[in-house]
């Protein structure tokens, strides 16, 4: 079973994503901020990472940058309420494979699951 790491400071958002991914057949692991996410990504080597941008301690953009600097090649999908085009471009330039806007529900949840399936069948 493929492991998806969910990095988000919102416990509600982690719960929503964990439920949807588990229902879709994925194993999940949660992290509450960018630092925790990096540690869990290095230790557990997930098949895919869902990364919030606006988090305490270490934001998602910096965490993505650090993961890539450490050689982590897992597909990273940014999941955020930050809708600025410059932020999206920066994330994609750092190697993010997708960008889904919060709140994650309905069509945006379906979109997120489809992106995950593209990288983790």
What pLDDT digit, counting tens, does each position of 5-32 carry?
999 999 999 999 999 999 999 999 999 9
Please tell me which of 80-84, 106-110, 115-119 the model is most confident about, judged by mean pLDDT: 115-119
Cα(67)–Cα(16) distance, integer angstroms: 24
Domain CATH code at residue 79? 3.40.50.2300
Q: What is the mean pLDDT of the chain?
A: 93
SS3 113: helix
Query: Which residues span the domain enclosing 21?
Result: 3-119
pTM for this predicted structure: 0.94
For the cut 80, the answer to whether the pLDDT of residue 83 exceeds it is no
pLDDT, position 66: 96
Cα(117)–Cα(35) distance, integer angstroms: 26
Domains identified in the chain, total number: 1
């Amino acid at each position: 079973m493929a492991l998806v790491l969910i990095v988000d400071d919102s416990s509600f958002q982690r719960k929503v994503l964990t439920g949807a991914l588990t229902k879709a057949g994925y194993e999940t692991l949660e992290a509450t901020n960018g630092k925790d996410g990096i540690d869990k990504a290095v230790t557990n080597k997930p098949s895919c990472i869902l990364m919030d941008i606006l988090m305490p301690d270490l934001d998602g953009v910096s965490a993505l940058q650090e993961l890539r600097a450490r050689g982590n090649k897992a597909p990273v999908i940014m999941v955020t309420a930050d809708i600025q085009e410059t932020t999206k471009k920066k994330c994609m330039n750092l190697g993010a494979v997708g960008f889904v806007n919060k709140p994650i529900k309905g069509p945006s949840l379906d979109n997120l699951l489809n992106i995950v399936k593209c990288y983790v069948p």
